[in-house]
Amino acid sequence: MDVFALVGFLGLSVALFAGAWRAPTSVVAGRGTDDIGIIVWFLRWVPFAIGHGHNPLFADYLNVPYGVNSMWNASMPIAGLAMWPVTSSLGPIFSYNLLVTLAVALSAWCAFLAARRYVDRAPAAALAGLLYGFSPYMIAQSQGHLHVTLAFIPPLMLLIFDEIVVRQRRPARRMGLLLGLLAAFQLLLAEELLATEILCAILGIALLTTLYPQRLPAHRRHALTALGIAAGVFLALAAVPIAFQFFGPQHVTGAVQIRNAYVSDLLGFVVPTAHQQFAPAAAVQLSEGFSGYSSEWDAYLGVPLIGLVIYTSVAFWARPLVRVASTLMLVLAVLSLGTTLHIAGQWTPLPIGALALIVPLLGRVIPLRFGLYVFPATWVMLVAAPVLSSALPARLMLYVFLFAGLLLAVLVDAWLKAPTLPLSGGLRAVLVGVALLLLLPRIPFPAEPVAIPSFFTGGGVRQLPQGSVALVVPYARLAHGSAMLWQAASDMRFRMPESYALVPGPSFNSPATATGHVLRLIEEDLGTPALTEDLRRQVLDELTARKVQAIIVGPMRNQQRILAFVTWLTGTAPQQDGGVFIWRLTT
């Protein structure tokens, strides 16, 4: 049954991303290449760096001469290494499409495996996998955030922590070794998920010790042994990349993301977005006003599913699994609201941490000590703690869907075991079906062609010396990654003085230059700079300082105005080759 479940989830995932699979080497799953470009770039960079003796943790082919600290970006070195043969033979766009398809399927399957530990009926566990792997979180993040949709590790972490802390049937050393290996793997796949997994583990252990203090003495030694070994294994494997991240070149300090923007809206739990198939126009119009980008609108559970979760929590409250899963689901949903409450896109001054004040009214649901101390402390960590404060609160919904799936599996399993329970079998099926149907992703899933001029894939780019520096326009910057896609398609033939990547500042743009400023003004119709000799000298000095040997202008907005500017700058006309215009400079 486990294999059949994997095949089924994989089939559904292929169907979901069918638009990209019609031309998987030239069409990418998702909406545009704003965020996808940097992920595709790193899928090519990792094998290139290893194969050519470069440090894969430091991307010196971007942001020349400074480079980019890969550990501060969605570099996913493990994924790049695993996809090396595919990327080398079929290209990084194919690798991206394959990974995003596997991400959804494997995440669903691992949630299914986790649910199989707690329920007897495979169909009930399959519903848990379906809800987790194809949740509104996964659908929204699949628009371009591959690193946080490769979410097959959280369900496995749940199984391991359950074994280490609760069941303790397997040797502590073996489980500690496995946990340490899995944590190191997660670090090199998606560090943000590792941070939030640790957060969930802390919450879970704190909740268990609060609910069942009498069991603590018997379980403490085994758990501490396993966790200690896990910490040792993790540090042995992760010390170098972590040290490189925090102390290596181009390391980043300060707040990485806009505070309190990428959060769950209070109405987001019940108002569908444009990502859902069944979303009335009024609901879509309302959700369009939520803060942050649409890829972070992850909170939609729907009224029917919320009702089923509440019913399960009440009906099976005596079960430790249900009590723990229900409490953690509620707490994580509240934490996903961010720093202060957002309602219908409006920011309010109400701190989410202040909700701890109502815990005494929820004594039957949330233990008093847990709610009054652990919850606000966790909220403070999300607001101010290093690394964790850079995690986006809305993405905690991943774990909300995991626990919702477990609760749904418990309910369906109980209904399958006892057909004489209240409600007919047909009505039960309708309730579950409606709850899941309302979460159905909009079909077809977005898929857009990636326009790569033949210059970068043919012989034209080979005329550039390997590793030489080329300024590529449109200039790579925040949410503009076309140049990076072209660089990846060229098999990293050249380096660039620009980047859409996280660099010190912190900023997602390379340090400000006159060159980048002028090119952005022209491209975005923000005004035409005065073409003075001072400007010409300043731009040429910047290009010389970065040892730029070529300027390449590809298909873009306001291309003719860019061509006129570069022609004025260099005093020469460009050559046309493979869909681009190129100037060769002397340095």
pLDDT in tens, 50-72: 999 999 999 999 999 999 999 99
Whether the model pTM is above 0.75: yes
- 345-367 pLDDT, tens digit per residue, is 999 999 998 887 786 766 667 88
Q: Tell me whether the omega of the peptide bond preceding residue 47 falls within 30 degrees of 0, making it cis.
A: no
Asked if the model's pLDDT at residue 33 lies above 80, the reply is no
- Give yes or no for a contact between 475 and 486, defined as CB atoms under 8 angstroms apart: no
Surface-to-core class of residue 254, CB atoms within 10 Å of its CB (0-12 exposed, 13-18 middle, 19+ buried): exposed
CA pair distance 472, 482, nearest whole angstrom: 9
Structure tokens at 288: 């369009």
- pLDDT band for 419, please (50, 70, 90 cuts): low
Answer whether residue 32 shows pLDDT above 70. Answer: no
**Res. 587: pLDDT tops 70:** no
pLDDT for 290-324, tens place per residue?
998 899 999 999 999 999 999 999 999 999 999 99
E strand map for 109-241? none
Stretch 106-135: mean pLDDT: 97
| Confidence (pLDDT) at 484 | 96
Are the C-beta atoms of residues 131 and 404 closer than 8 Å to each other? yes
Q: What is the largest CA-CA distance in the chain?
A: 87
Residue 474 has pLDDT above 70, yes or no: yes
- CA nearest 328: which of 320, 318, 338? 320
Q: Residue 44: what pLDDT? A: 97
Instruction: Specify the pLDDT at position 361.
Output: 66
Using one digit for the tens of pLDDT, what is the confidence trace for 221-246? 999 999 999 999 999 999 999 999 99
Among 95-109, 156-170, 364-378, 484-498, the range scoring the smallest mean pLDDT is 364-378
The predicted structure's pLDDT at residue 421: 62
The mean predicted confidence, pLDDT, of the chain is 94
pLDDT of 420 > 70? The answer is no
Closest CA to 523 of 486, 480, 494: 480
Give Cα 475 to chain centroid, integer Å. 25
| Pairing relationship of beta strands 27-29 and 494-495 according to DSSP bridges | unpaired
Strand ranges (DSSP E) for 334-477?
340-343, 346-351, 447-449, 468-473
